[in-house]
Structure 1
Amino acid sequence: MGRWEPNARERLAGAALELYAEHGFDKTTVAEIAQRAGLTERTFFRHFADKREVLFGGQEDFNRAFVAGVAAAPAGAAPLDAVAVALAAAPTVLPETRRPHARARALVIARDPALRERELIKLASLSSVIAAALRERGVAEPAASLTAEAGVAVFKVAFARWVAEPDPADTGDIADLAGLLRDALAELRAVMAGGTSG
């Protein structure tokens, strides 16, 4: 087997998700992932530090996209409007082509308490970097932290809808992540105004 393998990272991630779904995260070994992908364990460790990184790698890119979105908001934008710009950047990190992977990942995480805890840590980290970006814009506390938490809640609700299995009775188009984020943000604004949008 050659040193360089085309699409090795994607092949390993796909194999890992298949095995996690079939046998559970804890019962899947790196050797099994590498074998399923037709690669070596050494190749696995060139791409991932451990089995968890298959599920949680790339957080830095995700956080950077949100921070850049907050920074790109127009000067004088209200804190929630700045977060809205950041939310609009999420689909660039999670394009529609990633939905099947994101759905499989979400199912694996939902079945494992330790992975659910790690996902909550990931979301807390995202909230922290958004709050810091808001403070950079001059938003005081506790407004910066409250707005960041609200933004993460909007993302979490929209993402859960995006990765949910479609209802077989629903013959309409499945909403894209950008639309779901806009809808969730509009619902939050409606609730904050004292009502609901529904």
Structure 2
Amino acid sequence: MARWEPNARERLVRAALDLFAEQGYDATTVNEIADRAGLTKTTFFRHFPDKREVLFAGQDTHARLLADAITEAPGPVTPLQAVGAALDAITATFTDDRREFSAKLRAVTADNSELQERAALKRGGLANAMADALRKRGVSEPPASLAAELGVRAFYQAFDQWADPVNQQTLTELARHALDELRAAIAALD
């Protein structure tokens, strides 16, 4: 086993996703994931509490990126402008080399109710991180939570489009467009 090689966490994530796509989530074991990554089961559990979490490894990083970007948004901005800055920050981390991985992740998640449930928890966690950051900027409720929910909705709408291999736009462009569409939809409600 190549235990000394770098990027064990990333290798485990990629091995898990490949195996889930090949044989299904339920049919894949932690041992198989570790073997595919060239690591041990013990190493897997140093990085992840269970096989479900291996696909959601970046949640804390994403939540922190969103919250930090809202906190650091310049001067007086509207809640949606702060959310727009947060979307720019998180989408900048999704480079074109992650598009194929993201498409596979979407497909694997769509095929399993347990992973869909975990994805919904992640979505809620990202919204909470943005709403908390907005409240720290002095945004009251319900505007803070509503702006955060719109940001998460724009992100996932854009992500679904971006993960399609035929799409050539950046995730940042797609997220900005999705947020603009949501702004227009809100204006049309009144």
What TM-score comes out, normalization by structure 1 length? 0.88
Aligned to 2:185: 191
Aligned to 2:51: 51
In structure 2, list runs of 5 or more residues that go unmatched. none
SS of the residue aligned with 1:93? coil
**Count of paired positions:** 189
Aligned to 2:64: 64
Q: Where does 1:63-82 land on structure 2 (aligned, <5 Å)?
A: 63-82=63-82
Contact conserved, 2:100 with 2:165, CA < 8 A, in 1? no
- Counterpart CA distance in 2 for 1:9 and 1:102 is 17
What TM-score comes out, normalization by structure 2 length? 0.92
Q: CA deviation at 1:39?
A: 2.4
- Counterpart CA distance in 1 for 2:42 and 2:14 is 17
Contact conserved, 1:13 with 1:54, CA < 8 A, in 2? yes
SS of the residue aligned with 2:188? coil
In structure 1, list runs of 5 or more residues that go unmatched. 167-172
- Counterpart CA distance in 1 for 2:8 and 2:128 is 33
Measured on the aligned residues, the alpha-carbon RMSD in Å equals 1.7
Gap change, CA 1:115 and 1:2, over 3 Å in 2? closer
Aligned to 2:113: 113
Contact conserved, 2:71 with 2:137, CA < 8 A, in 1? yes
Aligned to 1:159: 159
The structure with higher relative contact order (CA 8 Å, sep 6+) is: 2
- Extract structure 1 runs of 4+ deviating beyond 4 A: none
Gap change, CA 1:27 and 1:138, over 3 Å in 2? same
Contact conserved, 2:69 with 2:82, CA < 8 A, in 1? yes
* Greater C-alpha radius of gyration: 1
Aligned letter for 1:184?
A
Matched, 1:180 2:170: no
Q: Report the identity percentage.
A: 50
